[in-house]
Amino acid sequence: MLRRCLIVDDNERFLAVARTSLERDGLEVVGTASTVADALDKADRLRPDVVLVDVALGAESGFDLTRQLVERHPDLRARVVLISTRREEDYADLIALSPAAGFVWKAQLSAGAVRELVAGRP
């Protein structure tokens, strides 16, 4: 069961709102990060069950971070969820090539949506 979550996003306001929403729905947010380096460090130290990764991290790529997370932590394969304010179809090809469980539009982000997406993957 997914209990511990790391959120990676370069928008501090979104991080605060997402943390509140996810924790209200029973998902413990064990940490947040705003850069690839910080995310990798926190994933190493905190060992989350699921990682939410913004597709666009300023000048950095959430797709690159997803690949690095799975290389370092094979147990996170299919437990990284890509998120964005843009729609899934804008990134469909990149999402399909990614080791992520899939994509959740930020406007629809909830603990239930994350659990459902991850549960549907091997």
Q: Mean pLDDT over all residues of the chain? A: 94
- Burial label for 107, CB within 10 Å (0-12, 13-18, 19+), is exposed
Domain boundary assignment for the chain: 4-119
Distances in whole angstroms, Cα of residue 41 to Cα of each of 46, 78, 83: 8, 20, 20
**Predicted local confidence at residue 121, as pLDDT:** 59
pTM assigned to the model: 0.94
Residues making up the chain, counted from first to last: 122
Is pLDDT above 80 for 122?
no
Which CATH number describes the domain made up of 4-119?
3.40.50.2300
What is the crossing angle of helices 36-46 and 62-72, to 10°? 30
Going by C-alpha positions, the residue among 14, 96, 61, 78 that lies closest to residue 32 is 14
- Give the position of tokens 């990149």: 94
What tens digit of pLDDT does each residue of 5-63 get? Answer: 999 999 999 999 999 999 999 999 999 999 999 999 999 999 999 999 999 998 999 99
Tell me how far apart the alpha carbons of residues 51 and 35 are, in angstroms, rounded to a whole number: 13
SS3 25: coil
